[in-house]
Chains A and B, each alone.
Chain A
Amino acid sequence: MLTVAEAVARCPLFDGLPRRYQELIAGCARFVRFDADVAIFLEGQPADRFFVLREGRVTLEVFSPERGRIVVQTLGPGDALGWSWLFPPYRWHLDAMARERVAAVAFDGACLRGKCHEDHLLGHLLMERFGDLMLQRLQATRLQLLDVYAHGSR
């Protein structure tokens, strides 16, 4: 049976990190499961953790009184979910809904922030990875905004 430490080592987000750091991170991690159509977190709630998905899909949504739930992105296995735990005021900016049964590794934000304060290299390495993740998501969002399929015969 897969241990939490093994699952952390397999997370793409932590790929290539020194083993001792993967083990430190695993100390703040545990397995979690969510049923389909369950809210993993909601906008405005305390962002006290983040997740790396192992199975199932999760949608990031914004609720609009006029339009209901607006899905802005879908995440799947291997994807990291949540970065609001990194920055004050530590509150979620979006809703995350399990679209199907989801298995994930959940990481305690306060625990990990504490370890980053104690070991700045770990903090630097984690910030690099989350920075890269944010850059990828930002670029993807820009591409969505470009509406590339609107014009041309393709």
Chain B
Amino acid sequence: MAAAEPDFLTPRPARVLSRRRETRESVTIALEAAGEAWLPGQFNMLYAFGVGEVPISISGDPGRPDRLVHTVRSVGMVSEALCRLRPGQWVGVRGPFGSTWPLAAARGRDVLLVAGGVGLAPLRPVVSELCRHRPDYRRVTLLYGARAPGDLLFRRELERWGHRVDVLVTVDRAAPGWTGDVGVVGSLLPRAAFDPEGGVAMVCGPEVMMRFALADLRRLGLAERAAWISMERNMHCAVGLCGHCQLGPAFVCREGPVFRADAVAWALGVREV
């Protein structure tokens, strides 16, 4: 008798272990893991019972396999319900799904991470890995841009990461008392210790921010084949069956969400895609 196919379409219940408010709109929840093997860049479908299901990138530390961590921004009914979850409550989980950040390809090279807004969440596991295996990589720089100081995620970690990698933070709009940088995230690029000849860039944020960041990286001399971006689309099945997240010849849930930039950069400038 043939072995049963794994059921990718049925959520398993997972208990909420902890909840931390990151910003006015964002919350990080840690779920009890069931031994799922996941890699930085992948996502899970989180099901708020009775409300609905959404794709959320895994934002945890790969060195903590006992916890499945996600950072959720409340932008709709489902994400709002996820943000309301409290420790002890239950959520449905399917996954992990999708492609991963190119950590193996980045070994021995300069690494530049460019994150905008909640786009830092999918890159957080990358930073954890880079910090843990710091000698395996050359210069590592994280550029992080947010709307305002109150919208910055992982504030304590940003400080901690700063001991292992270069961290430059900027906001679009300063608030009283803010002593950090003001300006778009791309304006930090000239200060990044990064060799575009042999370096690798990973970019994650709103699509328009990634479009501009890729243009800045091209200007710096980085080839598109050396940059990776994480795309976001309307994912439903997460296994390439339903077609909701189709992006040209690819399904973002299956071939993505992490793509090499030269494979999808065309889509960033197409209004209908």
Contact = CB atoms under 8 A, between A and B. Distances in A.
A154 B182 contact: no
Contacts of A153: 54, 56, 72-73, 75, 79, 118, 232
Contacts of B212: 139, 143
B32 interface: no
B41 interface: no
B170 interface: yes
Given A150-B147, A152-B232, A154-B116, A99 B179 contact: yes
B269 to A, nearest CB: 15
B27 to A, nearest CB: 12
A127 interface: no
B146 interface: yes
A77 B191 contact: yes
Contact of B186 (A71, A72, A140, A149): A140
A119 to B, nearest CB: 28
Interface of B: 54, 56, 72-73, 75, 79, 116-119, 121, 145-147, 151, 170, 172-174, 176, 178-184, 186-187, 190-191, 204-206, 208-209, 212, 232
Contacts of B119: 154
Contact of A73 (B75, B79, B183): B183
Interface of A: 12, 57, 59, 68, 70-74, 76-79, 99, 139-140, 143-144, 146-154
Contacts of B180: 74
B178 A71 contact: yes
Nearest to B172: A144
Contacts, number: 85
A144 B209 contact: no
Given A152-B232, A154-B119, A154-B204, A147 B183 contact: no
B147 A71 contact: no
Contacts of A59: 182
Contacts of B182: 59, 71-74
13 contacts: A72-B182, A74-B181, A74-B183, A143-B212, A144-B183, A147-B172, A149-B117, A151-B206, A153-B79, A154-B116, A154-B117, A154-B118, A154-B205
A88 to B, nearest CB: 28
| Most chain B beta carbons < 10 A, residue from A57, A74, A154 | A154
A74 B126 CA distance: 27
A76 to B, nearest CB: 5
B174 A71 contact: yes
A11 to B, nearest CB: 12
Nearest 9 Cβ contacts at the A-B interface: A149-B117, A74-B181, A149-B147, A71-B174, A154-B118, A154-B119, A71-B182, A148-B206, A144-B172
Contacts of A149: 116-118, 145-147, 151, 172, 205-206, 209
Nearest to B72: A153
